[in-house]
Amino acid sequence: MTRRRILFLCNANSARSLMGEALLRHLAGDRFEAFSAGSEPDRPHEMALAALHKQGIDTQGLASKSLEAFAGERFDTVIVLCDKARQACRDWTGEVDERLDWDIRDPRLIEREQAYEQALQEIRHRLQLWLDAQH
């Protein structure tokens, strides 16, 4: 059985999309290959990595990547986590069977200590619902 390829996208690929990538590997890495990218990639945010560690989720190998790094590739599903990345997807040259838009607030713009943990929990909730619907 081939694993389905899933790409998580957000603006900086420093928090939300990295969390999605790590979380999918953690929850269903035997069924899916998880990747992430950003329309304007930055470096992984330490608070995002800390939120993942706190939940016992492996962050080894996580790195910010550009959406262009996946040009021409095919994915079963692309999960877009912010409006800016949604705009960038219009010009992306990759192929996708299913595109989901989950607008998760950017934790970098929230002045609360738990913002990254809350974003992770929201991604986990939506991802679990999506996984439950997969065969």
Give yes or no for a contact between 26 and 57, defined as CB atoms under 8 angstroms apart: yes
User: Do 17 and 8 meet the contact criterion of CB atoms below 8 Å apart?
Assistant: yes
Q: Is residue 63 assigned to a domain?
A: yes
The pLDDT, as a whole number, for residue 88 is 67
Q: Is residue 71 part of a domain?
A: yes
Q: What angle do CA 91, 16, 49 make, to 5 degrees?
A: 135
Report which of 19, 1, 41, 13 is spatially closest to residue 122, judged by C-alpha positions. Answer: 19
Alpha helix stretches (DSSP H) within the chain: 16-28, 46-54, 83-89, 115-133
pLDDT tens digits in sequence order for the chain, 135 residues long: 789 999 999 888 999 999 999 999 999 999 999 999 998 899 999 999 999 999 999 999 999 999 889 989 999 999 999 877 677 666 677 888 998 999 899 998 887 879 999 999 999 999 999 999 997
Q: Quick check: is 135 in a domain?
A: no
45 Cα distance to chain centroid: 14
Distances (CA, A) of 126 to 79, 104, 129: 11, 10, 5
Q: Tell whether 114 is covered by a domain.
A: yes
Confirm if 62 and 44 have CB atoms less than 8 A apart.
Answer: yes
Residue 46 lies in a domain: yes
34 alpha carbon, distance to own chain's centre: 8
State the greatest distance between any 2 C-alpha atoms of the chain, in Å, as a whole number: 44
Q: Which domain holds residue 89?
A: 4-130
pTM: 0.93
Looking up residue 105, the CATH number of its domain turns out to be 3.40.50.2300
What pLDDT does residue 6 have? Answer: 97
All residues at 6 or more sequence positions from 94 whose CB lies less than 8 Å from its CB, including other chains = 7, 70, 71, 72, 73, 74, 75, 78
What pLDDT was estimated at residue 73? 94
pLDDT at residue 85, rounded to an integer: 66
Number of domains, the chain:
1
